[in-house]
Chain A
Amino acid sequence: MLISLKALQLELPAVAKPALKDLCEIIASLGFPVDGVEQGLEGPVLDVDITANRGDVMSHRGLARDLAAKLGQDLSPVELDPLEEGEALVSVRLEADACSLYATAVLALGAVQSTPPEVRAFLTSLGSSPKDLAAVDASNELLHRYGQPTHAFDADKLQGGIVVRWAKVGEKVVTLDGVERELGGTDLVIADDSGAIALAGLMGGESTKVTADTRRVLLESAWFEPRVVRAMARRHGLHTDASHRFGRGADPGMARIARDLLAARLKRWAWASVEGAWTEGSGPIPRAAISLTKELLQRVAGEPLPLDDAAVKLRNLGCGVEENQVSLRAVPPTWRHDLAIPEDLAEEVLRLRGYDLIPSSLPPMKSDPEPLSSAYRQRLSLSRRLAALGFHQTVTLGFISPEADARFATTPPEGRTIGNPLGYEYSVLRSSLLPSLVHAAESNLRQGAREVRLFEIAPTFHATPDGPEERSTLGIVWAGETGGQDPLTPQGPAHPAALQGVLAALGSSDAQCEVRSLEGGILVAELCIGSIPAEAERVIPTFQGFSRFPAAERDLSLVVPLDLPFRRLAEAIQRALMGTPLQSLTCVDIYRGKGLPEGRQAWLLRLTFQGDRTFTGVEVDGWVGSALEAARSLKAELRG
């Protein structure tokens, strides 16, 4: 909200004292940070951030009132020339309880009218352009100065009496912005015999609008139920200065005062004469008293605070306060709709004292501590291991386009689409991390990266009848050329087996290590975190014995058919060597070059035997012989 320093000073002369920067600090210390200061025609204009619960601060008078309480200074008196109320000139009926107060007056305007230059300047500095219609400019000025929205109808355009009622379904009104709005039963309207003529608390209507030709005006200064105004503003997408203030709760005590101020301005600016003034309704039910015990105040404040001092602060804010030794009772003023519970009062006391005076101490360590969950620790340790293995952690959006999703999804997107997405390309909760990772990898390659290694750990979404189920998932992508950056590491494209090795290093068993090779040599893998064995709960696992006897290592050079999978050969040899101390069987070299028979390759197998004693050469030769025999059964031959 924009606040003109000059206008603020009119309400509270004391704000002239502090330097502007200090004043901004004081305003911030009340809970309203100053987002910026612009130099306007009439001096500084402050952009003050008002919290959603404080409709009463949405005016110069409102902010001045909070500052006056904080500074212990007095507000300037409101120059008021109260109208004498009499008989209603036009019937005003309040049919809906969402409007419980309607102050009005009818005035005849003089032949000439002009808005005073200081008011024009005030409105301009707040970004609101003067219309040079006294009724409109005065109403606008009052809104910014005192926070009470008012409205002037062209009295001669009214047909019959005024009714504040719920709209009829299908009823229409053209609002001042020229839009025809279709109404429903939860819209509160001002109506005359012709039907709705204004949306209560939001905007007046075209049919009764004040123009340069208007000779008589009917003023409206009312109180509307905040909840109703908020709902209407949302429904019609019509957020106005008036709806912001009525929606957060206007001050019913201001209804008559604002009408009188408006009338006084019209008398001065447009030579108006009052034909009559009257008020319907008595306003909302006054707020109930709230009690605050010394004990609660001390608990919240962190130190014992004298109740009489708290009472002074609450009185400064306009509360009616009674106090005794152990508690106080405060009746909030008509403008404070946010005060309802004892904690609210405690906050007000602390707010006026300044939060910087609250002591600072750590709470006692009473509650039982808990270890970090194994799921959390597992994700953290997976991330750290992947980072150490050369992969970069990414963060991508949880929703993607249906096409991107379809590329890797195994199920249709039904059940995990967003009803109101930001756009089509963000409309599906992804069932795989790979579309986003591949996209990131491709864009890195386009940017000239030689090698891209990325991963993400995030939930993926899987439709169930009760809504999407979330699975913590790890996605990895590896693309581009690896190595070749130093004399010791040869260069080559990222190899699927190398990614498989990374997955194995993370503890994933073979069956789950599905590495896919996409177009452009992009390798991807995705696993459910739950399928990766978590680290043992015990910091150090149960002791397992290991052999201290020397291992016997034998290499077996075999010529095998090209189509023989290593696993088949390994299983055959392991079967044949069942019961022997075979520790490991690996392939340490593959040769597919010249000098081999057609359709053959050469494997160098390494067999390691280790056990609870040293083995004789004859024993080991026997085992290697059995291995060779098993290999021969699969058409493998000793390489000559």
Chain B
Amino acid sequence: MDALDLSLLPQEIVVANERFPAELAACSDLDALNRLKGVYTGREGSFAVKLMEKLKSAPKERKRDLGAAINSLKSTWEEALKAKQVDLEGMKKSLEAAKNLWDTTLPPPVPPMGALHPLDRLMARLVEVFRPLGYHVEEGPEVETEEHNFDGLNIPEDHSARGTADTFYLAAHPQLLLRTHTSPVQVRVLKRLATELEKRNGIRFLAPGRVYRKDEIDPTHSPMFHQVEGMLVGKGIGMHHLKGTLAYAMKALFGEGADVRFRPSYFPFVEPGSEMDVRCPLCGGAGCRVCKGSGWVEILGAGLIHPNVLRFAGIDPDIWSGFAFGMGVERTAMMVSQTPDLRLFFENDQRFLKLMGGLD
């Protein structure tokens, strides 16, 4: 095609065509572009329309050249406008995308998170620790009889624990009390299973729960606290089995490095009786305030089940033997966490619960 012969076109168009690149560049959005489009290539009154009118009225012999010139000009405009439109649409899209873009440096909204109570977590953990050894969970009521709480546990009739200074009794039912330990669960389970022991080859279980003693509330005492009791009855059970079981449990609870020691002690419902200490977690054994300088912290009481406890439940102690242990949950929780005041566990301040609890 020949080069565009501008001399064939009206002056007005020539000027407009010279202005076109600048006007096109000045369009910053699609609206402006559409207005410019109207001016140059629109259906009414545009430069393109004016050129077509000019062509109609041109002399016959000039029509061919003029037509070619007009078409060339029109398509130059149209192509430039189209290219600009693609540009502007692209810009608009990326702007909108930016608007919807989340600033990934903002802290993300976290769904509201609660927590299990540290004492419940520790008890659930203990159950978990003993599951591989075949222990299940047995439970009993918090309101108990003297028979289950004392008589069945070889606790002498004149033992001070039975007194109203130590134990809560119900006003309307003087024979009922708030259990002072989880051990009545032992008595209930042993009585229930006495005749089935042979068939099921013994029994092993944990009894976690709440217990009550008449202690004033202070940094180390509470009238309500938690215990986890454990018991195993079988044939030929000795102190070595108790040691092996608890040594495993402490490693599972505190880690491979957990160091324990067993000392003789006395509880009416076991013989021999023992207390177990763990190496003081605060000082590592060097001696500190928590361990009263000894390097050891008492964590539970244990022993072989006293023959009288088995007899009371109707079990022959010449055939069956076993061990029992009982852990204070608060004491252990305080030791593990170095929580300075027992009352924090019952105050239920959400800040404490958030920090000390967890989801499972």
Q: Which of A343-388 contact B (CB under 8 A)?
A: 343-344, 346-347, 350-351, 355-356, 358-373, 375-376, 380, 383-384, 386-388
Whether B272 and A362, one on each chain, are in contact in the complex, defined by CB atoms closer than 8 angstroms, is no
Interface residues of A (CB under 8 A from B): 24-25, 28-31, 33-37, 51-54, 227, 230-231, 234, 298-303, 338, 341, 343-344, 346-347, 350-351, 355-356, 358-373, 375-376, 380, 383-384, 386-399, 414-422, 426, 429, 440, 443-444, 447, 449, 451-455, 458-459, 461, 463, 466-468, 470, 482, 485-489
Work out how many contacts link A and B, with CB atoms closer than 8 A: 274
Quick check: A419 and B237 within 8 Å, CB to CB?
Answer: no
B254 within 8 A of A: no
- Please determine whether A396 and B115 come into contact, CB atoms closer than 8 angstroms: no
Taking a contact as CB atoms under 8 Å apart, the answer to whether B241 and A53 are in contact is no
Please pick, from A31, A341, A384, the residue contacting B360 in the complex, using a CB distance under 8 A: A384
Most chain B CB within 10 A, of A37, A426, A467, A470, is at A467
> Which residues of A have CB within 8 Å of B244?
360-363
From known contacts A370-B136, A393-B115, A418-B178, infer whether A300 and B348 are also in contact, taking CB-CB under 8 Å: no
Q: How far is the CA of A380 from the CA of B137 in the complex (A)?
A: 12
In the bound complex, do residue B170 and residue A389 qualify as a contact, i.e. CB atoms below 8 Å apart?
no
| Distance of A380 Cα from B111 Cα, bound (Å) | 21
B26 at the interface (CB under 8 A from A): no
Which one, B39-47, B83-91, B195-203, is touching chain A? B195-203
When each residue 127-167 of chain B gets 1 if its CB lies under 8 Å from chain A and 0 otherwise, what string results?
10001011011010111000000000000001010011000
Which residue of the partner chain, among A30, A34, A398, contacts B178 with CB atoms under 8 Å? Answer: A398
The stretch among B1-9, B59-67, B68-76, B290-298 that forms the contact with chain A is: B290-298
Given A234-B163, A453-B114, A395 and B346 touching (CB < 8 A)?
yes
Contacts A398-B178, A422-B214 given; does A390 touch B142 at CB 8 Å: no
Interface membership of B183, Cβ < 8 A: no
Indicate if the CB atoms of B241 and A372 lie closer than 8 Å: no
In the complex, how many angstroms separate the beta carbon of A499 from the nearest chain B beta carbon?
13
- Does B181 touch A at the CB level, under 8 Å? no
In the complex, the answer to whether A341 meets B307 with C-beta atoms within 8 Å is yes
Q: Taking the complex as formed, is B212 at the interface, i.e. its CB lies under 8 A from any CB of chain A?
A: yes
Are A422 and B223 in contact, with the CB atoms below 8 A? yes
The chain A residue with its CB closest to the CB of B287 is A21
Q: How far is the CB of A313 from chain B (nearest CB, A)?
A: 13
> B261–A417 contact, CB under 8 A?
no
Known interface pairs A347-B273, A396-B348, A421-B168; A470-B141 also in contact (CB < 8 Å): yes
Cβ–Cβ < 8 Å partners of A350 in chain B: 239, 264, 272
B223 and A426 within 8 A (CB) = yes
Contact across chains for B240 and A303 when beta carbons are under 8 A apart: yes
Known: A300-B304, A419-B164, A488-B109. A356 touches B262 (CB 8 A): yes
Docked-complex contact B240 and A31, CB < 8 angstroms: no
Which of chain B's residues 227-285 have a Cβ closer than 8 Å to chain A? Answer: 232-241, 243-245, 247-248, 261-266, 271-275
A417 touches B266 (CB 8 A): no
Chain B residues whose CB sits within 8 angstroms of the CB of A341 once the complex forms: 271, 307
Chain B CB within 10 Å, residue with most, of A355, A367, A440 = A367
Type the 1/0 row for B99-111, where 1 means its CB is closer than 8 Å to any CB of A.
0000000111111
A296 to chain B minimum Cβ distance, whole angstroms, is 9
A414:B263 contact, CB within 8 angstroms? no
- Quote the shortest CB–CB distance from A335 to chain B (angstroms): 16
| Residues of B with C-beta under 8 A to A470 | 141-143
A36-B292, A53-B266, A458-B210 known; A351 vs B272 contact (CB < 8 Å)? yes
Is B117 located at the chain interface by the 8 A CB criterion? Answer: yes
Q: Complex: how many Å from CA A389 to CA B169? A: 39
Q: Is chain B's binding surface mostly helix, strand, loop or mixed?
A: mixed
CA distance A426 to B178 in the complex (A): 13
Known: A53-B266, A360-B243, A384-B359. A376 touches B137 (CB 8 A): yes
Determine the residue in chain A with the shortest Cβ distance to B197: A367
Question: Counting CB contacts under 8 A, is B22 at the interface?
Answer: no
Q: In the bound complex, how far is the Cα of B45 from the Cα of A251, in angstroms?
A: 131
Nearest CB of B to A351, in Å: 4
Given A35-B292, A470-B142, verify A369-B170 contact (CB < 8 Å): no
* Distance to closest chain A CB from B70 (angstroms): 53
Beyond A300-B272, A360-B243, A420-B168, whether A392 also contacts B294 by CB under 8 A is no
Of chain B, the residue at the smallest CB distance from A394 is: B348
* CB-CB under 8 A for A391 and B168, given A31-B263, A467-B143: no
B357 within 8 A of partner (CB): yes
Our pick among A25, A388, A418 for the contact of B170 (Cβ within 8 Å) is A418
B353 part of interface (Cβ distance < 8 Å): yes
How many angstroms from the CA of A447 to the CA of B349 in the assembled complex?
9
Contact of B346 among A24, A34, A383, A397 (CB under 8 A): A397
Q: Which residues, 200 to 220 on B, are CB-close (under 8 Å) to A?
A: 200-205, 210, 212, 214, 216-217
Q: A350-B272, A364-B234, A387-B116 are in contact. Are A418 and B139 (CB under 8 A)?
A: no
Pick from B112, B134, B178: contact of A369, CB under 8 Å = B134
Partner of B212, one of A28, A398, A419, A488: A398
Contact A37 to B293, CB < 8 A, known contacts A366-B202, A387-B116: yes
Q: Is the CB of A393 within 8 A of B120?
A: yes
Within 8 A of A (CB), among B319-360: 321, 345-351, 353-354, 357, 359-360
Residues of B within 8 A of A393 (CB): 114-117, 120, 353, 357
- Nearest to A383 among chain B residues (CB) is B116
Asked if B52 is at the interface (CB within 8 A of a chain A CB), the reply is: no
Q: Is the CB of A468 within 8 A of B170?
A: yes
* Interchain residue pairs with CB less than 8 A apart (20): A31-B263, A51-B265, A302-B239, A303-B240, A341-B307, A351-B272, A355-B261, A358-B262, A360-B244, A360-B247, A361-B243, A372-B137, A383-B120, A392-B115, A392-B350, A414-B172, A416-B172, A417-B172, A422-B214, A485-B109
Query: Is B24 located at the chain interface by the 8 A CB criterion?
Result: no
Given contacts A350-B239, A486-B110, 14 further A-B contacts (CB under 8 A): A30-B264, A299-B237, A360-B243, A361-B240, A365-B133, A366-B201, A372-B137, A390-B114, A399-B168, A418-B170, A453-B350, A458-B210, A467-B173, A468-B176
From known contacts A373-B136, A373-B137, A421-B168, infer whether A368 and B200 are also in contact, taking CB-CB under 8 Å.
yes
CA distance A344 to B266 in the complex (A): 11
- In the docked arrangement, what's the CA distance between A392 and B118, Å? 10
> Which residues of the other chain, B, contact A24 by a CB distance below 8 angstroms?
294
Instruction: Tell me which residues across on chain B come within 8 A of A372, comparing CB atoms.
Output: 127, 131, 136-137
With a cutoff of 8 Å between Cβ atoms, the chain A residues found around residue B176 in the complex are 467-468
> What residue in chain A is nearest B238 (Cβ atoms)?
A302
CB atoms of B232 and A363 under 8 A apart: yes
Q: Which residues of B contact A30 (CB under 8 A)?
A: 264
Residues from chain A with Cβ under 8 Å of B354 in the complex:
392
B173 A394 Cβ-Cβ under 8 A: no
B194 at the binding interface (Cβ < 8 Å): no
Contacts of A394 in B (CB 8 A): 117, 348, 353
Q: Of the candidates A227, A343, A391, which one forms a contact with B272 in the assembled complex, judged by CB atoms under 8 Å apart?
A: A343
Q: Which A residues are in CB contact (< 8 Å) with B217?
A: 422
- Taking CB atoms, residues of chain B closer than 8 Å to A396 are 346, 348
- Does B185 touch A at the CB level, under 8 Å? no
Distance of A338 Cα from B271 Cα, bound (Å):
11
Contact call B348/A347, Cβ cutoff below 8 A: no
Give the residue name and chain of the B residue nearest to A472 (CB): B139
Query: In the docked arrangement, what's the CA distance between A459 and B179, Å?
Result: 14
Q: Which residue of B lies closest to A379 (CB)?
A: B120
Residue among A30, A362, A426, A453 with most chain B CB within 10 A:
A362
Within the assembled complex, what's the spacing in Å between the Cα atoms of A298 and B240?
10
A346 touches B272 (CB 8 A): yes
Find chain A residues with CB under 8 A from B216 CB: 422
In the complex the two chains form, what is the Cα distance from A463 to B172 in whole Å? 10
- Docked CA distance A484–B119 (Å): 31
Q: Which residues of B contact A33 (CB under 8 A)?
A: 263, 275, 294, 298
In the complex, A418→B176 CA distance in Å? 10
Assess whether B264 is in contact with A302, with CB atoms less than 8 Å apart.
no
Bound-state CA distance A341–B136 (Å) is: 32
Cβ contact within 8 Å between B178 and A390:
no
